[in-house]
Amino acid sequence: MSKQGNRTHQERHASNGASGNDETDQDIPVTEVHEASDRAINGESPKEAAADAGLQIAALIAEKDAKIAALEEEASSLKDQYLRKLADYENFRKRLFREKDDAVQYANSSLLVDLVSVMDDFDRAIKSSETSREFQSLHDGISMIERNLSSMLEGKYGLSRYESLNQPFDPNRHEAMMSEIGECQEPVVIEEYVKGYKLKERVLRSAKVKVRMPEVDRAEN
């Protein structure tokens, strides 16, 4: 064989050898090399490294489970508090409605107690009239009852009568039952059929009255 042929064969063989070495180096992952180096340096085998990783994962899972359990316990506690507050609110609402209903039903209890005392006075006056024919005494007794009743209603409850006779007609205080034309400058009450009452400053019942109205020509002048 010639020298040139030998050189060509040797170059081809050298080229194939170099190419084979490169493929071998590429098949080994870099991370495995690093991990192998770390284990070799630390003196830890692959089995020991896997066991440590398993322990770390187990610790993380246990920590997560503990957090979940704590959150579930907190949620349960908050739910119990909410249900108790809701029950307290319902009981308060029912009690409030019950007290309001009682207040409406028994709002006049104090007034009725006072009126019962007046009824007792009337009973005594009636019994007295059955055994006595002194009508003046009966009249005086009834008048006294009326005065006491009026005084009690005004003093304790603010209920009072107001005068209407010979007063200017006021539609806010008077209800005209009848009327007549007469000499006057403005409508005036000339007769009172039913007395008017006011509760403090508010008209409770209008007085029923007869009104004198001015003549049309005079009213226009």
Confidence at residue 111, expressed as pLDDT on a 0 to 100 scale: 83
In a domain, 71, yes or no: no
pTM of the model: 0.51
In a domain, 145, yes or no: no
- Render each residue's pLDDT in the chain as its tens digit; 221 residues: 444 444 444 444 444 444 444 444 444 444 544 555 555 445 567 777 777 777 888 888 989 999 999 999 999 999 999 999 999 999 999 999 999 988 888 888 888 888 888 888 888 888 887 777 788 888 888 889 999 999 999 998 899 999 999 999 999 999 999 999 998 999 999 999 999 999 999 999 999 999 999 987 654 55
In a domain, 147, yes or no: no
In a domain, 9, yes or no: no
Select from 157, 149, 152 the least CA-distant residue to 202: 157
Question: pLDDT (tens digit, 9 = 90+) per residue, 172-182?
Answer: 999 999 999 99
Total domains present in the chain = 1
Residue 144: CB atoms within 10 Å: 12
In a domain, 92, yes or no: no
The token pair that represents 157 in the structure block: 């409850």
The token pair that represents 44 in the structure block: 């830890």
Domain with 201, as residue range(s), is 159-221
Question: pLDDT (tens digit, 9 = 90+) per residue, 149-208?
Answer: 999 999 988 999 999 999 999 999 999 999 999 989 999 999 999 999 999 999 999 999
CATH number, domain at 194? Answer: 2.30.22.10
User: Helices 109-131 & 135-157, crossing angle to 10 degrees?
Assistant: 170
Beta pairing partners, 181: 213
